[in-house]
Structure formats: structure tokens, C-alpha cells
Amino acid sequence: MHVSSLPGKYGIGDLGSSSRDFVNFLAASGQTHWQILPLAPVNQVFGHSPYMSSSAFAGNPLLISPELLIQDGRIQSSDIPPYEFSEYAVEFDKVMPWKKQILAATWRAFQANGTRHNLEEFIKDNPWVKDYGLFMALKHKFNQQAWFQWPSGLRRRDPDALTEAENQLQQEIRYFQFEQCLFFDQWRKIHEYAGKKGIQIIGDLPIYVGLDSADVWANQDIFELDTKTCKPVNVAGVPPDYFSKNGQRWGNPLYRWNSKNSTTQKQLYEWWALRLEMIFSTVDVIRIDHFRGFESFWSVPAKEKNAIKGTWKKGPGKKFFQEMEKRLGSLPIIAEDLGIITPAVEKLREDLGYPGMKILLFAFDANPDNSYLPYNYEKNCVVYSGTHDNDTAVGWFLSPDVSTNAKTQAKHYANCTDNEASTFHRQMMYLAHSSTANLAVLPMQDVLGFGNDCRMNTPSTAKGNWQWRCAERFITAELAKQLLESTRMFGRLPAAKKEDSRIK
């Protein structure tokens, strides 16, 4: 359940009472983990996807709670503009300008009261926010133009050009840094509250970052960019698979993992260490999206319109994670190992001891050796009924694209002989909880039995994604009781957790 999908009156789930109430629901229903999507800023250009952000370090200002701003005395209730939002979807075109008005009012109040202590301390403790603030201020100045279209001096980060921009845009830079200060102050409080309630938060770390981001602009040497245009030579993606017959051309710039330049290698590892350190300061466990890219990655020529004509290239492998553990200590990681997975990828994950992912909706192809069938699981894995990238359980069962045999097989595995779609999500919950997987994670849509109208994302589509919200009336004490009973039945309450679990 992503934060943006939480109930609330302000058009989008946020870090206020909606997050706190959901933590209380999880605790009441016997859960131990809350998995979210990346907390990064989103923008209209990429359909508000949290996987194509302007920063790998920053938080999404849209998730800042107006309620907490009032409670903390940063603004008055009179500073909240009139509003009327859907409780079923994030209407980004309405929410974004409305939220900007509130944040602008908060900034004015902050400037007027004369104290800057917490902002300056935040900037000092988070060195990434210096480049981020300048990047966002320049984006604003150039009407959201991509950084590789800026004047040459700024595009190539000429020191004199950067100094001049910093002097000209001081207030704008400070504003964007202030947004981040607000976000992480509120996030820290909800993270601490979750910990007190026995809930660990599983964050999501995309392996790649967006091309038009502060990260690529500020660290151009570590990415495969053309030195003249500053645009990618090759881009990230995956070959044709379950999700897309043409593969997925993500368009993210690739890392220079195989550079012979020792300085580039050092910079790349330092940047990754900072990135991991940052995310582990905000969540308890991370799911690394597209883990297989560390063993080998699909490189697509930037000129290609789809991902079919890509090639596999060697990733950094085990040495990368060994180096990160040497710098940061033990890394509680879930490896997203879906799609085309080779024995080399499986060996990398097993050598590192990271649990992989098992998706129940991928299991029912009449192959008894299918690795997603519960009886084929190793204990060190995390089972999901589905993910944000595929059908909901009920949506899958109702889909004309899914064979009748697959649906019948799924029901039989759950020892159910009816042909009802309305109960299918409960059978998937049964299979997930009864499996030997160390951890079972269920999308909230599957806990509630919602159909594909509540799906979060359809890969390779640009519109209509990342908008689903759960209305408050659906998250009930009765639902918590049902989830608690299933969790208890299969020994998954906190007291029954196994000591050898990799998920701590």
C-alpha cells in the first residue's frame, strides 16, 4: 500500500493521520511489515511514476501532511485553500497546484519567523540536497526543460556558471530544500511511530534513476552519456517477457559499471553507498527493483523505440554488495528477481543470502515445477499474491486473457472447487499465508478483493497509473480481524517469527 493510496480528505494519502491510522490497522491485524513504493518526487512528464523521479534521494512533497503543518504551528487552518477531491483516485492535476499553495504559504511563514536552524541543520546533514535544490530551481527557471537542454555552462556544470546560478536563485534553491526538510521531518515521525507499533517499513529502491534528474546532472561521469549531447548512448529496459511482448524500454541511463577509469569506478561506488545509506536511514528493509541488473543488464540503443534489439551486458555482481556491506554493514534486502532469471542471477542472490520474490499469480501454468507454486518455495523468500505491476487477484480471475485452466488450477491449489471470482482473493491469501515463505506480503487491493479498476500500474502504458486510492470506509475493524485470523492460523503473528529469517 503506497502512501499516496491511503485514505484522507486532502486528495492524496500523506504522512499525517492517514499513515498513522494505517499503521494502527496493520498492528491490529497482526502484521509486521508495511511495503511501500519509492517515496521519490513524481512529475507529469512520466505519468507521476515514482520510478522515474527527479531525484533518487528526495521525498515527494505531495505526501507532506497539511494537517501536521497546522499541528506544528507552521501554518494556520486559514492557509488551506478550498478543496474537493475524489476519495478513490489521486487527481494529480488538481492535487499538485493545491498542495503547492500550501507549501508556498508554509515557506512564507518560515521566512517571516526569522529562524532557519532546522533547515540549515537538515542541509548540513544531507549533502545531496545542495545539488537537488539547485537542480529544481533551474528546472523552474527554464520552464521544466530537461537539464541536457540547458545552456552549455549549466548543462556541463561549469563552476562559474553554477556559482552565478546559486547567487541568482538563492531563494528558489532554499525553497526546494525547505520542502525536503518538511518531508523528512514528517517521514521520520511516522517511521518512528511504525517502529513502536512493531511495524517495519519495506522501502523500494529502483536500480536505475531518471535521466532528467538531479542525480544524473550532478554525476554525469558515472552514467553512459554522450559527451557532446549529454544524452544516453544506451538506455535501460528488459527484453520481452510476461509483462510486455516488445520488452520494456525504460529509457533510464545506464551506469558505467564496466568503465576502465578507476576514478569513475570510485565515484560510482561512492554514489551508490550514499544512496543506500540514505534509504536505510528512512526504512527498515529495501526491495531492490530489478535486482538481476547487478548480475547482467539489458542495454538498449537509445535510438530504438522498443526494447527488442537490446543486448545483455555484465553487471558488477557480488563484489558490489560486498563493498557496500563493508561500508554500511549488514543490508536487509529483498531481491526483486522476476522476469527472465538465469542460474547466474539465482546464484548471486543465494550467495548474498537475500530473499527473492514469489508471485502467486505467475504460478498456474500447469507446470508442476513452476517456481512460483508454494510447494516449490525455499524458506528464504517473500511471497506475494501480486505486485503493483500486474492484475489484482480478482482482476486476474476475471480477465479474459487468463485461461480457464489456469483459474481452475489456482482454485484447486487453495482446495476450493467453486468458480467464484468474489472469493478468489481470500484463496490467494490462504496460499500466501500457508506457504513456507519467511514473509508474506499482500497488496491491499487483494486484502479487500478489488478488481482491476483498482490496479496500480500497467507496464508500458503512460496514462492512468499510480492513481488508486483506498476510501476510508473500506479499512475496517472487521477487515483487520479477518486478516488477523488468517495470519494467526498459519503461525505468522510476530511471536511466531522464526529466528533464522533474513527479514529482521
Per-residue pLDDT, averaged over 326-341, amounts to 94
Neighbours of 407 (CB within 10 A): 18
The one-letter amino acid code at 313 reads K
pLDDT per residue as tens digits for the range 69-119: 999 999 999 999 999 999 999 999 999 999 999 999 999 999 998 666 689
* CA dihedral (260, 261, 263, 269) positive or negative: negative
DSSP label at 81? P
Selected catalytic residue, list 295, 389, 391, 446 = 389
Share of the chain above pLDDT 70, in %: 97
Please, which pLDDT band fits residue 501 given cuts at 50, 70 and 90?
Answer: very low
Please tell me the predicted confidence (pLDDT) of residue 243.
62
Distances in Å between the alpha carbon of 274 and those of 207, 218, 269, 328?
A: 14, 14, 9, 10
Active site residue 336: yes
Residue 206 has pLDDT above 60, yes or no: yes
Determine whether 389 is an active site residue. yes
Rounded distance between C-alpha atoms, residue 99 and residue 437, angstroms: 41
Distance CA 294, CA 250 (A): 16
What's the Rg (C-alpha) of the chain?
Answer: 23
Mean pLDDT within 212-234: 97
Coil, strand, or helix at residue 478? helix
User: Per-residue pLDDT averaged across 156-179, rounded?
Assistant: 98
Q: What is the pLDDT of residues 2-47, one digit of tens each?
A: 999 999 999 999 999 999 999 999 999 999 999 999 999 999 888 9
Task: Report the predicted TM-score, pTM, of the whole model to 2 decimal places.
Answer: 0.94
- With beta carbons less than 8 A apart as the criterion, state whether 26 and 18 touch: no
Q: Is the pLDDT of residue 502 over 50?
A: no
Q: State yes or no: is 91 an active-site residue.
A: no
The Cα 298–Cα 246 span in angstroms is 13
Contact 27, 199 (CB under 8 A): yes
Annotated catalytic residue within 336, 337, 391, 446: 336
User: What angle (nearest 5°) sits at the alpha carbon of residue 49, between those of residues 215 and 460?
Assistant: 110
Q: Write down the pLDDT at residue 45.
A: 87
Tell me the C-alpha distance between 388 and 2, whole Å: 10
Say how far apart CA 454 and CA 452 lie, in whole Å. Answer: 5
What pLDDT, on a 0 to 100 scale, did the predictor assign at position 459?
Answer: 84
Estimate to the nearest angstrom the gap between the alpha carbon of 238 and the chain centroid.
18
pLDDT of residue 462: 81
Instruction: Note the pLDDT of residue 117.
Output: 67
**CA-based torsion, 273, 275, 279, 284: positive or negative:** negative
Query: Of these residues, 14, 131, 289, 446, which one is catalytic?
Result: 289
Phi/psi at 464 (5° precision): 80, 10
On whether the CB atoms of residues 155 and 148 are closer than 8 A, the answer is: yes
Point out the least confidently predicted range of 80-94, 114-128, 254-268, 421-435: 114-128
Helix locations, 281-423, DSSP H: 318-328, 343-352, 393-398, 404-413
Give the model's confidence band at 500: pLDDT under 50 very low, under 70 low, under 90 confident, else very high. Answer: very low
For residue 497, the model assigns a pLDDT of 43
pLDDT of 496: 46
